[in-house]
Amino acid sequence: MVWSNNEMTDMHLMYGLAHGNAVRARLLYAETFPNRRLPERKMFQRIDERLRNMGSFKKQTANCGRPIRTRNIRLEEQVLNSVTQNPGTSTREIARAQGVGHMMVWKILREQLYPYHVQKVQGLSESDYPPREAFYEIPLNIIHRMWFMHDGAPPHFSREARRYLDERFPGRWIGRAGPIAWPARSPDLNPLDYYLWGHLKSIVYKTSIDNVEIFRQRVEDGCREIRAIPGIFEKVTIYDETC
């Protein structure tokens, strides 16, 4: 079955919202796009693997060059040994040595708890620590005042999800069965719902997208374009007040 770039992009978005759970991603896709064809759950996993390993939605085509290695335990051990022997090496250097894509190397290191490699940096003096500790407190203070608005997707209504929100945002999250219940069928009360997501999507998908890097750049450019609209925040405020 042939899928368009738009369809595959939305599949990958649902896969991300489902935190890598293909079954939940398929349910979210069906709820969000009820008039579309429904892909099998393995399609969500394939798309994620293609983007990570090849940086494109397109399938890997046969070529006459160096054969592409598949991921296995031996490859993972070789990648980890490379980092152990040379902590300053890069993912691209390891990828060239092993004959794989650098995204596959990055994924192996990330999953094996090697999100970064050791680099020499300047030392810290005793007087450096108090300002650093004070600086660390700033985001913590912001988080303690932050409110979380939960979406209404049925898969996100689990007891585990609500327990996590109660612990992470005690008394400060809005949603179904939360401290503050969100009125059902009320997208007009949420500027993100009634304006931003739809308008941003029309900008991002104005032309076809071939890979995730272009997609990310389109999202960033689209947000900047919306932010630059004269009086956009004032208009949203006025609309909210009229509602």
105: Cβ contacts below 8 Å, ≥ 6 apart: 79, 91, 92, 94, 95, 98
Tally the domains of the chain. 4
Most confident stretch, 26-35, 62-71, 144-153, 169-178: 26-35
Per-residue pLDDT at 64: 46
Same domain, 205 and 180: no
In a domain? residue 49: yes
Calpha distance 186→69 (Å, rounded)? 51
- What pLDDT sits at residue 114? 47
pLDDT digits (tens, 9 = 90+) for 222-235: 999 988 888 887 77
Residue 87 lies in a domain: yes
Residues contacting residue 18 through CB under 8 Å, at least 6 positions apart = 24, 25, 28, 155
Q: Is the pLDDT of residue 61 over 60?
A: no
Q: What residue has token string 């489902």?
A: 18
Range of the domain at 175: 138-189
The mean pLDDT of the chain is 80
Please tell me the pTM assigned to this model.
0.32
> How far apart, in whole angstroms, are the C-alpha atoms of residue 143 and residue 42?
36
For residue 117, being part of any structural domain is answered with no
Mean pLDDT, to the nearest integer, of 138-150? 74
Question: Stretch 64-93: mean pLDDT, rounded?
Answer: 76
84 domain residue, yes or no: yes
- 161 domain-assigned: yes
The top-scoring range by mean pLDDT among 50-54, 71-75, 220-224 is 220-224
CA distance linking residue 108 with residue 75, whole number of Å: 9
